[in-house]
Amino acid sequence: MRLWPLAASGLVLALVWLGPLVERAGGSFAAHMVMHMGVVALAAPLLAIGLSRALPSLAETISPAVAIAASFAEFAVVWGWHAPGPHDAARTDMGIFALEQLSFLLAGTLVWLAAFGPSGEGRLKARAAGVVGLLLTSMHMTLLGALLLLSPRTLYACADLCSPAATMTPLGDQQAGGVIMLIVGGAAYLAGGLVCLASILNDPTPRRTP
């Protein structure tokens, strides 16, 4: 029962990657963003919790430097794949799309795993660095979502080449995707960071006295 997050993560990924969203994402930026948020805001934290329970030694290998590096890696992954060229390629090529989705999952899981790592003397610094990573990710996802929402024009060639949602214009479809990232991505990482920060502040582990 302690490993239920692993099963829940697998279920989320199955719904995201094997359900109707895959076909829908080819023609809708908003649907593509729903897949992105499903991977990084739902599947990744569940996978991180499950791994920290199943393999506690794995989380113990994450140092503060690794935790901060993971947050910068996720920044590069998220912003890199939302640049026009890579994003259009992922929308039109299934191999590149699979690479995009896998990189989202790996980067997101590492950031969440650092924050959810085991407590105990000597580990709080690494977890604190993981919390910083979650909060930084919340900030840059909020910023990217706002840019997508407030852009006066479509940023991607696929907005015109692909068929957007029938009830939306290409620009409206992009703006809807921006709202999804701003609300879901920003809120999920902010909430996760605050919860992990509270657990660190309330950690009962005794500290060494000099």
pLDDT digits (tens, 9 = 90+) for 95-114: 999 999 999 999 999 888 88
DSSP 8-state class, residue 141: H
206 located within any domain: no
CB 117 within 8 A of CB 123: yes
| Domain around 148 | 4-201
Instruction: Report if residue 207 sits inside a domain.
Output: no
State pTM to two decimals.
0.86
Percent of the chain clearing pLDDT 90 (strictly above): 46
**Residue 209 located in a structural domain:** no
Whether 22 maps to a domain, the answer reads yes
Q: How many residues does the chain have?
A: 210
Domain assignment present for 208: no
Residue-wise pLDDT tens digits, 59-106: 777 777 888 888 899 999 999 999 999 998 988 889 999 999 999 999
- Of 181, 137, 150, the C-alpha closest to 29 is 181
Question: Would you put residue 62 in left (φ > 0), alpha (ψ -120 to 50) or beta?
Answer: beta
User: Looking at the 3D structure of the chain, how many domains does it have?
Assistant: 1
